[in-house]
Amino acid sequence: MDQKELLVLKDVKKSYSSLSVLKGINLTFQQGEFISIVGKSGCGKSTLLRIIAGLEAAGGGRIMMNGSELQSLNEAARIMFQDGRLLPWKKILQNIGLGLSGDWREKALEALRSVGLEDRAHQYPSSLSGGQKQRVALARALVHEPQLLLLDEPLGALDALTRLEMQRLIEAIWQKNRLTTILVTHDVEEAVMLSDRVIVLKDGNVAVDQVIEMPRPRQRANPAFTKYSEEILAEIMGTRSARGTVLVALSH
Ligand SMILES: Nc1ncnc2c1ncn2[C@@H]1O[C@H](COP(=O)(O)OP(=O)(O)O)[C@@H](O)[C@H]1O
Ligand SMILES: [Mg+2]
């Protein structure tokens, strides 16, 4: 496959006063990849995503986007958070069109269509369920046609069924557009279900960069699915033995 480096992190560091959160992250993301970042709460996942988005400056190292060093906001990236951050006083179409000009209505409608909610264009966000709000938030990111989609636990607040639906939608959108996607999640199975690579952050470093080799659409019943999930979880929890066998299979 023709691969092109979209994003390269070189020795990226970040501290908050005496707390060293990222201690020198080196990662390369190819165009079109779906990557998940997992790790314990507080390990620096959101910090890393904010730095990639250019919302926050790194304390050291370099971030190369399309071969150029990122200096401020990453214009080619869009980020979506766990709380959709929709403006309650604006209608859904207007929420999606924020920051667009020209034929923004057509573009916003198209984005809304891609998440299956075009019939809700003229309603207010308060009329939507949690899952639908996240669809709108996703449409609001997609309408800018980003090269890089950053998702910070976007499904964290959803119930299990809605979560599965949203996972399928995110995978379908990624496959259709081949949009490089970085998903931060605390759900290892979600990461294994969706990703080409799963990265485990631990103690400020990349502890694991695991390629997931499974055909799509992926099935939970596939033994490889369980094996990947258990191994990655064991890495996060520190229950992997020196010989590499999983000592404890934790579920959640
Ligand atoms: N703006 C900030 N000021 C001070 N400490 C912060 C700030 N943002 C994050 N932290 C700390 O950095 C660590 C990593 O946070 P975060 O990236 O949000 O972790 P994660 O997303 O993996 O749960 C945590 O200990 C958190 O308290
Ligand atoms: Mg976080």
Query: Using one digit for the tens of pLDDT, what is the confidence trace for 165-176?
Result: 999 999 999 999
| 42 pocket-lining for ligand 1 (C-beta < 6 Å) | yes
Domain locations along the chain: 1-76+149-155+184-252
Mean pLDDT of the chain: 93
State in Å: Cα 59 to ligand 1 middle: 14
Higher pLDDT, 203 or 84: 203
Amino acid 241: pLDDT? 59
| Position 72, amino acid | S
- Taking only the tens place, the pLDDT of each residue in 7-43 is 999 999 999 999 999 999 999 999 999 999 999 999 9
State in Å: Cα 14 to ligand 1 middle: 10
Closest CA to 148 of 222, 70, 202, 85: 70
pLDDT of 247 above 60: no
- Taking only the tens place, the pLDDT of each residue in 81-122 is 988 899 999 999 999 999 999 999 999 999 999 999 999 999
Amino acid 251: pLDDT? 40
Contact of 27 with 199, CB cutoff 8 Å: yes
- Which amino acid residue places its CA nearest to atom 18 of ligand 1? 46
- Taking only the tens place, the pLDDT of each residue in 217-246 is 999 999 999 999 999 999 999 987 554 454
Cβ neighbours for 240, distance < 8 A, ≥ 6 positions apart: 231, 234, 246, 247
Closest CA to 88 of 141, 134, 127: 127
Q: Which ligand is nearest to the CA of 37?
A: 1
| 14 pocket-lining for ligand 1 (C-beta < 6 Å) | no
| 16 pocket-lining for ligand 1 (C-beta < 6 Å) | yes
Q: Which ligand is nearest to the CA of 45?
A: 1
Amino acid 239: pLDDT? 83
State in Å: Cα 70 to ligand 1 middle: 22
* 210, containing H or E segment: strand 205-211
CATH for 1-76+149-155+184-252 is 3.40.50.300
- Which amino acid residue places its CA nearest to atom 17 of ligand 1? 44
Max CA-CA distance within the chain?
60
Closest CA to 5 of 72, 64, 78: 64
CA–CA separation, 213 vs 210, rounded Å?
A: 9
Amino acid 3: pLDDT? 76
- CA distances for 19 relative to 14, 22, 74, 230, angstroms: 9, 9, 25, 30
Mean pLDDT of 119-134: 96
Contact of 211 with 191, CB cutoff 8 Å: no
pTM here is: 0.93
State in Å: Cα 115 to ligand 1 middle: 31
Q: Which ligand is nearest to the CA of 201?
A: 1
Which position has the token pair 């069109």? 97
